[in-house]
Amino acid sequence: MPRLAIAVGSARKPKLAAVHEALDQIAGLFSPGTSFEIVGVEVETGVSHTPICRDELMRGARQRAEALRTVAKQNGESWNYFVGLEGGLDRIEENGRQRVFLESWAYVSNGHRGHFGRSGAVELPQALADEVLRRGTELSAAIDEFAQQTGIRDAQGAWGVLSANRITRQESFRIAVIAAFAPFYNEKLYNQGISHDFFVGR
């Protein structure tokens, strides 16, 4: 029975639970009977506590995975995949107005190549966006104050608060992880070319 070791660049429960759930859903797409060993390791991201643009989100996710590769080399670990997860904000201009969205990103590497995956996005209320972007408050602290609760980051997350718990932080990362793993479990499709004869005949 194939067994793959997956290193995740975080020890936070929602992130690890998201990876567990995602891998449970895609295990059969690797090969029959595949099982996973998941190891959470806290690593440095090289980005701010609350990334405030898509480039920073992607960089944070990638750098978590790359830090895991370094840990593996230093400690002689034989991990098959390295998973970096990063949540934060993205900003766009729409009709002259700045809109701010919460997103969850994943980067998965097998040590030779890596791929990104992203959740959907949920728009932040203006007051919450201002608290983070203008006053520099970390999102985890700002959402606790905004919702008048404590420990939201390790529970439903800002995702849960904003979506009335229809989408949790864990769920957003689950989607991102499945998407980032797609080029690995669906490798044949990603490696095939496009037949132009197909389009000619249509």
- Tell me the sheet residues that pair with 97: 94
pTM for the whole structure:
0.93
Q: Is the pLDDT of residue 137 over 60?
A: yes
Per-residue model confidence as pLDDT tens digits over 120-129: 999 999 999 9
Per-residue model confidence as pLDDT tens digits over 44-75: 999 999 999 999 999 999 999 999 999 999 99
Q: Which domains does the chain have, with CATH numbers?
A: 3-190 (3.90.950.10)
CA distance 31 to 195: 27
Q: Is the pLDDT of residue 159 over 60?
A: yes
Could you give phi then psi for residue 73, rounded to 5 degrees? -65, -40
CA distance 52 to 87: 10
